[in-house]
Structure formats: structure tokens, C-alpha cells
Structure 1
Amino acid sequence: MIAAYLLFFFAGIGAFNALALAIGLLLRRPNAPAQRWLALLILALSVRTGKSVLFYFYPELSKLVLQVGLTACLMIGPCLIALVRAWSDPAGQRTRHDARFVAALLVAAIVLGAAFPYSEYPQWWSGAPAWRVVMYGWLACVAAAAVLCRGAFRRAGDAAAADGIGRGQLAAIVAAVAGVWLAYFTAGYTSYIVGPLSFSLALYAGVAVWFAGRRPRAAAVTEPYRDRKIVDDEAQAELQALHRLMDSEALYTDAQLSLAKLARRLNMPPARLSQLLNDNHKTAFKPYLMQLRVDAAKRLLQAPGQVMMEQVAEASGFLSMSTFYSSFKKLEGTTPAAWRQARSAAAADS
């Protein structure tokens, strides 16, 4: 009896903690695309393994719970592929429609489940047809994700880490999902509870690796770009990705934004981003960031309702009022208050 309770605890705690982790990732700000897909992937895995734990210990469980578990299992592979694609394209140039595709797949699965519920068609859901579609579809997605990872790693720099997920961490995620698939696929030869247990092990191993990767490391050697001019076509594409990322997510509002952090979001080495700004945008990182923040402040200063200066500064990404005033006056030649007053007077005259 004690062994059964321990088995239930260790198998179920992984699913429960994964659910909490997924919710935390979804609520964490800034909420980047790869981070959202990782949260959805963990959520799908937690629902699938949670259902397995409940079914193992309570076989009389409602068929609706089993149907939800299989539906979640169907979403694991697509979420994994979307995660890898978002990691390799943080600016969203090629992945704009991924969310629509995955959402459409989920809606189709829900509609199919409503039309042919498990309770009325158990032979279809628990038999070979549905199981093969789900399991072999999952395997195909894992293989596709591995191929996508290889191509993304080849294009990315050695220090690439999009949305806080490094190359090694992404590879570990793909390997862990493959391991959970293998545990479920071989469950007929071992035990059905092996799937949830393997997921718990993969989850805690992944968390441990992630925390280990957060330890301070020695500064990496900056790749010299002095003698390597960026090709014009590449520079224009990368600048467009930079501007699109800044416009869509307003990263300049992050008071702690650094060159290294922005480079990680763009999936490029910091030295290349620095060269891109200096050589192709004719500005350094700090002046570029200052201009974006001052432009944001000007939009807020023109907004109706007379937003307080402290709120304008904070919402624009400035750490202090003194930095806000000095930056604004440097670029506009006047103080924020005088600039707003002049704009208001001009609008009243017109």
C-alpha cells in the first residue's frame, strides 16, 4: 500500500508541478513567443501525464477525462515544432501563422471529440486508429523538431539564446519529449505509469539544468567583426527584424534592456548586433535605445488626459526622472513639460 502511494505521489507530482510551471511561464513578462510555446508544450504534457496517473489508479474514471488526455497528447508534437520555429525566428518573420495552425488543429480535435465522444465510441478512441494517429504523429513531430533544431543551430551564433532558451536547453527539451514518447510507446511492454514517471524525471532534470545554466559564467570572447562587413541584404533583413521586434513588443520599455539581452531575442551574437547598429544604422546601441524611449515619451505626452511626468518616464523605459529629462532635452532641445505645452498650444491654434 505504501509503495502504491509513493508511486502515485512521484508520478502525479510531476504533472502538477508542470501545470504550475506552464502557468508561470504564461504569466511571466516579457512573454516572448518561444516562452509561450514552451508553456503550452508543458501544459499539454502535464494534462497527458496527469490523465495517465488518474487512469492508472482509478480505471473507472470518466471517459471524458480520457478523451481530454488524448486530445492533449495530440497537441504535444505541434507545440514542440512551434517552439523550435519560434526559437529560430524570434522576430516572427516566418512564424506568424503558427498559432493559427495549432489553434485550428485543437478546434478540429475538439469538434471531432464532440461529434464522436469517447463514451459512445470507445472502440475508436481506445483502439488502434486513434492511438496510431496520436502516437505516430507525435513521433513525426519530434523528428521534424530535431531536423529544425539542426538547421537553426547551424544558422545561429554560438552564443545564441532566444527568449532565455539556449541551444543546449532547446536540444534537451526535444530529447525529453522524445523520451516521454518512448516511455508511452513501450508502455505495453512495461507499465502504463512509466510515461508519467519519465515525464517527472525529465521535468526535474530540465529544471536543474536550467538553474545550472543561470549561474554566472566568464565573459565570452567577443567575435571580431571589424574586418567583416555585413552583406547589405542580410543587414536590411536583420534591421527589419530588429524594428519589427521593437514595434511589436516595445522592448525599449524594459529599463534593464541591454545589448546582450536584445541580441538574444534576435538570435544573434551581441558583437554582430553592435556592428549592425553602428555600420548599417549609423548609431550605437545606447543612442538607438534613447531615441526609441524619447519617441515613446513624446507619444505619451501628446495623449489626452495629461499623463504625469513620472508615469511617462516609467512607461517609456527610463530608470529615473533625471535620465528622462536629460535624454529628452538632448534630443529635442527642450524639456518634456515645455515640449508638451508647445504642442498643446499649437493644437489649440489650429
Structure 2
Amino acid sequence: MFKLICTLYTEFNMGMNQQLLFFFSAIGAFNGLLVGLYFVFFIKPKNLSNKLLGALFLALSVRVGKSVFLYFYDTIADVYIQFGLFACWLIGPLLFYYVRSAVTPKSTLVKEATLLILLLSIIGIAINVLFSWSAYHNLWNYFIKVIYLQWLGFVVITGWILHKYRNKWFINSKNKPFRLWLASIYFGNLIICLAFNTGNYTSYIVGALSFSFVFYALILLLTFHKRRDELLFLKTKKYKSNQLNAKDAKELGTQLEDILKKERLFLDANLSLDQVAKLLNVHRGKISQALNEYLHTNFNDFVNAYRIQEAKAMVHNKRDYTFEAIAMDCGFNSKSTFYAAFKKHTGMTPSKFRDQVLKA
């Protein structure tokens, strides 16, 4: 009797474990389909990057869905198996063009991406129509190897693209959320790709579980980030909530010039955008917009331009001053910052400028 109870308990646990495994494997694929459709048809703006991301989610979901049902129900129709492998054939190219469209958006990329994905789709459809899974099972073993190698190849090439443009999208970009999102998309796909490629050595269901984990990590990131545009795009539209028309921008730019000249605020080494915004009683975003659109500069360069004018006058009038003393008197925090700003605004070093003054 005790042995029977133990056997029943063990079988019950195994059944529950199988159900949980199926649930966690399948839920990612199902929700991935919904998110993919949302990105392809409903999200705004409807640009190439969003459409490719949606298509990538759809392809991954279909591929993972095939794996889940084949693992738990090995009697599914051949057409579902072949459809899942066809989707897998497109994952690599979709990842590649999504990353390219996000990092280096170009108008010509639309045509290039469309042509290659269309060509690969035609090849995939032709193979699926001409060679059925049941009739050419041995041949499909070779097709699967080619599909996985192609997927892995595109993942490697995509990694090279990210490395090539690392200064733009990772090092120099101030858009940290975008860097996190793009890195998550890439490394998530790398994990899923490796899981499927090594399935023979681990477990066939590992790829599906990996997708569910990566997918929900991405969805949590997308859901809880306050500004979606910063997350999905390298460059976002500025000043959306603080629009200034041309007349207002010009007027605010004039006020900025007046207050810096009259109050000589630039001599304060700790001067900040927030301080100026408080003095003018305007939102800091509007000041940034006015500087960008009316004066074609940013706050630091705008203030430094006045400091350099002051420094040039001091070089003329106080020739016994050291450059460090001039830098401090003009509002710079350090000699190195002064040298960099001086060269940027005059095209020469302070020493060369002083030499010209002495020769005059």
C-alpha cells in the first residue's frame, strides 16, 4: 500500500512538473505573438525599426511555439514543424536589420532589408513546398543545420555591427535606456540562439525556456520605463512637452544673451542651467530648445563663449597673468577645461594667441 502511494505521488509530481514546464515554455511564445503584432501594426511611430522588432518577436514566438508543442506533443502535423523552422530561418536577418535600423537609420535600409528578407522568404517557402518533413526527414536534418548556422552567423555579424558603432550607441550616447534595451535585445537573442544550437547536448526545451525568460525581462523593461522613446530609439524628439515657436525661441535667446552680459553670470564657475532657468522664470527645457534652435549651441558652449571673450581681453590687458589665473578669473574650474574651450572657440591655444598679441 505504501509503495502504491509513493508511486502515485511520484507520478503526480511528474505530471505537475510537466504542466508547469509546458506553461512557462508556452506562455512566452503566446505573449510574444501578441507583442510582435502590436509592434508591427499598432505601435507609433510606424517606422522600420519598430516593424522589424515586431517581426523579430513574431518569428521567435513561432519558432519557440513549434518547439514547445513538438516537445510535449510529438504527433503534431508536419506543416507546423516546417512553419516553425521557416520562422527560424528569418530570425537572424530580422535581428541584423533591426539593430542596423536602430543604430544607423538610413532611408536605403528599407529597400535593402525588404529585398533580402523577401528573397530568404521565397527560398524558405520553396523548400517547405517541395520537401515535406515526413517524406524528406533525412534531408531536413541538413536543412536544420543550415538554418541554425545561418541564424548564428547573423548573430555574429550583428555583434560586429554593435562593436563597430560602439562609440555612437554605447560610449558617446547619453541615452542610457537605449543602450540597455539594445544590449538586452542582442544578448537575449544570443542566449536563445545558443540554447537552440546546443539543444542536442542539453534539452530541446531549453530554447523555449530561454525565450520566455528573455521575453519577460524585455517586457518588464519596456513596461516600467517612464519614457518609451528613450528606450527604443537612439535619437528622440526633443522638447516635446515644452514646444517653443520660432518667435519665442528667438526672444528667449536674446534674454539669455542679455542676462549673461549684464549680470556677468559666466564668471561663476558653478553656473548651471537650472540657475539661469530660475532667474528667467522659465523651464530649463525651453532654454535648451532656444539655445539649440536659435543660437545653434548648447548651454556649456554658450557660457564658455563669454568666458573665452573675457579671457582674450585679459590676455591683452593683463599680460603678466598666468593662464591658470586667467582661467579661474573667467569662470573655468580647471586649466585643462580652459585650454580645451579656448582652442574650440578660437582655433588656437592660449599660448599661441598670446604670442600673436605680443607681436601686434
Instruction: Say whether the fold is shared (TM-score over 0.5).
Output: yes
Partner of 2:157: 144
Residue 150 of structure 1: CA displacement?
2.2
Partner of 1:206: 218
Are 1:191 and 2:224 matched, yes or no?
no
Secondary structure of 2:199 counterpart: coil
Q: Contact 1:153 / 1:167 at 8 angstroms: preserved in 2?
A: no
Residue 176 of structure 1: CA displacement?
0.4
Are 1:101 and 2:116 matched, yes or no?
yes
Distance 1:73 1:122 in 2: 17
Distance 1:113 1:187 in 2: 23
Task: Count matched residues.
Answer: 233
What does 1:113-262 correspond to in 2, within 5 Å?
A: 113-125=128-140, 127=141, 129-156=142-169, 157-160=172-175, 166-214=178-226
In the alignment, structure 2 segments of 5+ residues that lack a partner are 1-14, 229-234, 245-285, 297-360
Residue 279 of structure 1: CA displacement?
6.7
Aligned amino acid, residue 193 of structure 2: W
Residue 106 of structure 1: CA displacement?
0.9
Q: Contact 1:49 / 1:195 at 8 angstroms: preserved in 2?
A: yes
Residue 43 of structure 1: CA displacement?
0.5
Partner of 2:58: 43
Q: Deviations over 1:169-217 (max 9, x none)?
A: 111101000101111122112211111011000111111223344369x
Q: Deviations over 1:103-135 (max 9, x none)?
A: 22112210121122223211111x2x1122111
Q: Contact 1:64 / 1:119 at 8 angstroms: preserved in 2?
A: no
Cα distance change, pair 134–272 in 1 and its aligned pair in 2 (3 A): farther
Bigger-Rg structure (1/2):
2
Higher relative contact order (CA 8 A, sep 6+): 1
Equivalent of 1:68, from 52, 60, 83? Answer: 83
Q: Contact 1:23 / 1:39 at 8 angstroms: preserved in 2?
A: yes
Residue 52 of structure 1: CA displacement?
0.3
How high is the TM-score relative to the length of structure 2?
0.58
Runs of 4+ residues over 2 Å off in structure 1: 89-96, 150-153, 209-216, 255-259, 270-280
Distance 1:66 1:273 in 2: 54
Q: Percent identity?
A: 31
Residue 151 of structure 1: CA displacement?
2.4
Q: Contact 2:48 / 2:110 at 8 angstroms: preserved in 1?
A: no
Residue 11 of structure 1: CA displacement?
0.4
Cα distance change, pair 92–190 in 1 and its aligned pair in 2 (3 A): same
Pick which of 114-123 and 5-14 moved more: 114-123
Aligned amino acid, residue 194 of structure 2: L
Are 1:18 and 2:32 matched, yes or no?
yes
CA RMSD of aligned residues (A): 3.3
Residue 95 of structure 1: CA displacement?
4.6
How high is the TM-score relative to the length of structure 1?
0.59
Secondary structure of 2:194 counterpart: helix
Secondary structure of 1:166 counterpart: helix
Secondary structure of 1:29 counterpart: coil
Aligned amino acid, residue 33 of structure 2: L
